Amino acid sequence: MFGRPCFLIQGNMCCGVLKDELEPRLEPERAQELLRRPPRGRWTFTDRPLKGFVFIESGGLRINRQLRDWVATARSFAGTLPPKPASKSAARGSRAVKRGGARRG
């Protein structure tokens, strides 16, 4: 979906990983404020800012508490978003698994 590992809550991105950086999805209004606290991150890997998405370098996640805090903040925000409807292809895939069959691409 994003070209990198991502974790979803009810179909909404919670956080992802790009190389050695964590990409938490944050409440857009609070993202700027949250970036002021250590570990600091950056807004985007392109020239265009992504609203509510930040990148936290691995050096800023040296202790487990820092990683847990960022993931908890992202998880909390993603949990407030309305669930996304399942795509038709995802629904077909889940039916194949329920019947015990493997899907071939």
Specify which residues 56 forms β-bridges with: 22, 41
- Contact of 1 with 72, CB cutoff 8 Å: no
Confidence of residue 105 (pLDDT cuts 50, 70, 90): very low
**pLDDT per position as a tens digit, 10-69:** 999 999 998 888 889 999 887 777 767 665 566 555 667 677 888 888 877 878 888 898
Q: Domain locations in the chain?
A: 6-98
Q: Which of 8-12, 67-71, 88-92 has the lowest mean pLDDT?
A: 88-92
Structure tokens that stand for 21 in this block: 């950086």
Specify which residues 7 forms β-bridges with: 15
Q: Would you state the pLDDT for residue 104?
A: 47
Q: Which CATH architecture has domain 6-98?
A: Alpha-Beta Complex (3.90)
Predicted model pTM: 0.69
Q: Which amino acid is located at 92 in the chain? A: R
